[in-house]
Amino acid sequence: MVYCSRIWGNSANSKKTYYANLDYHPFEKKSGLAIELENHMDLVYELWENVKREIKANTSETIYSVWFEPLKLESFDGQTVRLTDDPFRCKIINQKFIPLLEDSFEKIMGFRLTVVVEPVQEKPKKQEIAITDIGESGEYTFDNFIVGDSNKFAHAAAKAVAADPGNTYNPLFIHGNSGLGKTHLLNAICSEIKKNNPDAYMIYVRSEDFMNELIEYLQNKRDTSVFHNKYRNADVLLVDDVQFIAGKTSTELEFFHTFDTLVKAKRQIVLTSDRPPKEMATLEERLRNRFESGLIADIQPPDLETRIAIIKSKAKSLNINLPDPICMFIADKIKSNIRQLEGSVRNMQALMELHGAEANMSTAQLAIRDIFNESDPIPVLIDKILDEVSRTYGVSVADIKSRRHDAKFTTPRHIAMYVMREITDLTNQKIADYFGLNDHTSVLYAVRKVKSEREKNYTTKTIISDIIKNVQSNS
């Protein structure tokens, strides 16, 4: 990190002076401003701390502690700084202290900014809350969660959190492979809290949606205080697949401040991931420490008895009767994914109701055959690989497929080639064709180079494993 003392000057020289350690000036008005601000929000927060120190040095201790210390930085777009406080203090500050704030920013920055001080927005009303896919249908509750040795600890922790949110196990971090019931537990927690406290402000969000929403605010120069208030005023924040924010610097920073705000206010946070925090190699250390500060519960693949119970429960909910041998057959074939277990039962229902099939072994074989043959066609799989590499490295698919030789682009390009070779049957020449290359030797070189790096570098190994896992789990 480049600290503010190395960035922010206090002379009246050109503002570019204060960015000698950067390749560009992140607050200059130009295309892509929002993305640049997003990547340097840590500097913005440190700027505010420097400004407060400047104010403290030029006012009495009483004035500083009463009027300035409580102020919160909400957003900065390069020209306007937005600060928030309670309505009473905002009124006084706007009447008496705006010149002092703007003078202090100018002294630290070297150029004049507009300072806006406004009241903290009220928590959204209940009817304004939109919670995506969270317990609305009652499909996923604690009552229909099948408990076994593989998940009983996570189930017990989730029930404890739902009974006393914010005070028991905060944060709760649930990890396990895809399809084992993590999202079911998130839904169950939300449904239980909603039942006990209908006015609770709850947000369920997938980490990718959180990241994309933040980027949309910044790219369109929207007031980020609205984004902050949405998430930082939640009574309960549930984040699914939080592993996707690892390595996304600006998203990690935003989530870090959201996390700290909620925990300090004793608001409940529940996170799910496909791995424990210690295995998120690209996650910022301070976030990893916070994820580990509460309770960590893992979910393992269900044993045979639990798988049979899941099949019978799903069959009952669909009003079909499956004989024990059929349940045993399906449970024996599908061992590590609850979604697939439930999907096989739905397939059985469709075959029985739409085609008049009987609940016998032949129908069961047809039902699970469809699940085992759900692989994507090669062009679709290639697109998914490119999209996942693009998302991981923060470059466009067009740049990955281009001939540009900057390390920023060649590394993800080589990774994409390697992953294609690993999880498809494509030859080196076919992969070369996808990249518009005349000769397969470039692909051969890339695959060998990445393979060598993967064997030597744990971070590279983890990133590639993540990409492959995400591509396959979304296939």
CATH number, domain of 163, equals 3.40.50.300
* The two three-digit tokens of residue 382, written as one number: 């290639």
User: Quick check: is 265 in a domain?
Assistant: yes
**Which of 269, 298, 327 is the last residue before a domain boundary?**
298
Strands of the sheet containing 268-273, edge to edge, are: 202-206, 236-240, 268-273, 172-175, 295-298
Cβ contacts of residue 101 below 8 Å, gap of 6+? 51, 55, 83, 93, 115, 117
Q: Same domain for 313 and 396? A: no
Residue at token pair 């990409």: 467
3-state class of 377 per DSSP?
A: coil
Q: What torsion do the CA atoms of 216, 221, 227, 228 make, to the nearest 10 degrees?
A: 130
**What is the domain extent for residue 166?**
142-298
d(CA 142, CA 163): 12
Q: For the chain, what is the total number of helices (H) and then of strands (E)?
A: 21, 8
Instruction: Flag whether 469 is in a domain.
Output: yes
**In this structure, what token pair is assigned to residue 367?**
């039902």
Per-residue confidence in pLDDT tens, the chain, 475 aa: 222 333 333 333 333 333 333 333 334 333 344 434 444 556 677 788 889 999 998 888 878 888 888 888 887 777 888 888 888 788 889 888 999 999 998 888 888 888 999 887 654 444 334 444 454 445 788 988 888 888 999 999 999 999 999 888 989 999 988 788 898 999 999 989 988 888 889 999 988 889 888 888 877 777 778 888 889 889 999 999 898 888 888 888 889 999 999 999 899 999 999 888 888 877 889 999 999 999 999 998 888 888 899 999 888 888 899 999 999 999 888 877 888 888 889 888 888 888 888 888 888 888 887 665 444 556 778 888 998 888 888 788 888 888 888 778 889 999 999 999 888 878 888 898 888 887 788 899 999 999 988 888 888 888 888 888 778 766 5
* 0.95 exceeded by pTM: no
**366-373: long-range contacts, CB 8 A cutoff, minimum separation 24:** 367/330, 368/330, 368/333, 368/334, 368/344, 371/334, 371/340, 371/343, 371/344, 371/347
Cα 320 to its chain centre, rounded Å, is 38
Q: Same domain for 158 and 291?
A: yes
- Distance of alpha carbon 317 from alpha carbon 164, whole angstroms: 30
Whether residues 331 and 383 share a domain: the answer is no
Neighbours of 35 (CB within 10 A): 15
Strand partners, 339: none
Q: Is 133 helix (H, G, I), strand (E, B) or coil?
A: coil
Residue 268, pLDDT score: 95
Same domain assignment for residues 408 and 461: yes
- How many whole angstroms separate alpha carbon 137 and alpha carbon 146? 18
Tokens 């009767």 locate to 321
DSSP 8-state code for residue 297: E
Number of domains present in the structure of the chain: 4
pLDDT of residue 84: 87
Contact 248, 280 (CB under 8 A): no
CATH number at 348 reads 1.10.8.60
- Check whether residue 225 and residue 150 sit in a common domain: yes
What does the pLDDT read at residue 203? 92
Domain assignment present for residue 435? The answer is: yes
Query: In 10 A of CB 445, how many CB atoms?
Result: 13
Residue 473 is predicted with a pLDDT of: 64
Query: Are residues 396 and 338 part of one domain?
Result: no
Residues 291 and 317 in one domain: no
Q: Which residue has the tokens 């924010």?
A: 245
In a domain, residue 444? The reply is yes
Say if 107 falls within a structural domain.
Answer: yes
What DSSP letter does each residue of 231-252 carry, written as one string? HHT-SEEEEE-GGGGTT-HHHH
pLDDT of residue 6: 31
- Say how far apart CA 258 and CA 101 lie, in whole Å: 25
Confidence at residue 188, expressed as pLDDT on a 0 to 100 scale: 92
User: Is there a domain that residue 321 lies in?
Assistant: yes
Check residue 175 and give left, alpha or beta (phi > 0: left; psi -120 to 50: alpha).
beta
Query: Where a domain ends, among 119, 154, 170?
Result: 119
Helix (H) or strand (E) holding 283: none
Q: How far is CA 239 from CA 153, 283, 394, 403, in A?
A: 19, 16, 21, 38
Give the separation between CA 151 and CA 214, rounded to whole angstroms.
33
Supply angle C-alpha 222, 228, 233, rounded to 5: 140
Q: For tokens 């420097």, what's the residue?
A: 50
Residues 348 and 452 in one domain: no
Return all residues near 367 (Cβ < 8 A) that are at least 6 apart: 330, 344, 345, 347, 348, 351
- Written in H, E and C, the secondary structure of 320-339 is CCCCHHHHHHHHHHCCCCHH
**Residues 187, 134: contact at Cβ < 8 Å?**
yes
Q: Is 235 found in the same domain as 153?
A: yes
Element of type H or E holding 112: none
Query: CA dist 459 to 265, 282, 392, 446, Å?
Result: 35, 7, 13, 18
- Does 292 lie in the same domain as 147? yes
290 and 239 fall within a common domain: yes
Kindly report the CATH number assigned to the domain that includes residue 106.
3.30.300.180
Q: 247 and 339 share a domain?
A: no
Per-residue pLDDT at 377: 57
Q: Round to whole Å and give the CA distance between 240 and 202.
A: 14
